[in-house]
Every structure is written in C-alpha cells, then in structure tokens.
Amino acid sequence: MRRIPPTARKALLTLHLVTSLGWLGADLTLLTLGVAAQRGADPAVVYPVAALIGTVLFAPLSVLVWLIGVASALLTPWGLLRYRWVLVKLVITTVMVGLVLFLLTPNLRHAGALGAALPARDRADLVIAPAVSTSLMIIATVLSTYKPWGRRPAARAAAAGAAVRTGRDRATTRM
C-alpha cells in the first residue's frame, strides 16, 4: 500500500471534510426547500431552485465526496477494506451516490419542470429523501469520529502475516 506524506494526508482530509460539509449543506438546503413547499411556499419557485441545487451542487459534491473518500482510504493507513467503520462508510456513501445520481437528481429535475403541477406523493418524496440522506450523513460522521468495531478479521490476519514475514525478513537481513 502506498502512503502519502503527512502534509498531503492532511490536505486530502481537509478536502474530504470541505466536500462532505458542502454535501451535507446542500442536502439540508434541499430538505428545507422540500419542507417549505409542503408548508405552502410557491412550488413554482421552490422546485426549480431545488432542481438547480440538486443538479449543479448536490450531485457533483456526492461524486467528489466518494472519490476523495476512496482516495483517502487507499492512501492512508486506514485502508479501504481494513476497518469495519471505513467499509460501512464506503457502503453508505456508495448507496447514497447511486440514489442521488439515479433517483433524486432525475426527480428534482422532474419537480423543477412541473413546479406547482407536481403531485402530492412526489412532493413528499422530496422531503423524505433529503431527510434520510441527512441521517445517513450523520451516521457516517459518527463512524468517522468514533471509529468503532476495530479491524476486520481478514485484515487482522493479513496484518499478522505481514508482521511475521517482516520479522523473518529482518532476521534474514541480520545474518
């Protein structure tokens, strides 16, 4: 595994935090707009704005967060599949990116085009989706903060094998 210097690692972490916070902020904005439309704000104004935010900000940020997160995992000691919490974050983020790109963004565009003519059941979806994704983003943040569960068993065994090999290599080198 290739590791990067501490300054580059911190820059990558900063970029991950900035894009993640932007993603969360865009998501909260979509949730706010969805609630506003439910509470009587003009859907002819709200839904085109939500479509713009979803298309221009939310969708690209979701892809950036995923790419930077994967790069961070691969270039730091955490690894992509070594720790359970990283794996769970990867799954959560991958599912969310898929839902954003293939479900939410098209729905937002549709809502933006229909405006006030958007059916009530579709209006509810534009509140539920950002509420669920905000919850998932908070879960991912908690995982990053607390880093629960430790190493995956396969990663533990691989690390132990590597330590044994390294020990043998050192012993051979000394002789």
Per domain, the residue ranges of the chain are: 6-174
Task: Evaluate if residue 90 carries a pLDDT over 70.
Answer: yes
- Per-residue H/E/C for the chain: CCCCCHHHHHHHHHHHHHHHHHHHHHHHHHHHHHHHHHCCCCHHHHHHHHHHHHHHHHHHHHHHHHHHHHHHHHHCCCCCCCEHHHHHHHHHHHHHHHHHHHHHHHHHHHHHHHHHHCCHHHHHHHHHHHHHHHHHHHHHHHHHHHCCCCECHHHHHHHHHHHHHHHHHHHHHHC
The predicted model scores a pTM of 0.84
Interval 129-153: pLDDT, tens: 999 999 999 999 999 999 998 887 7
Task: Evaluate if residue 161 carries a pLDDT over 90.
Answer: no
Task: Evaluate if residue 164 carries a pLDDT over 70.
Answer: no
What is the second-level CATH architecture of the domain 6-174? Up-down Bundle (1.20)
Q: What is the mean pLDDT of residues 57-83?
A: 94
pLDDT of residue 28: 98
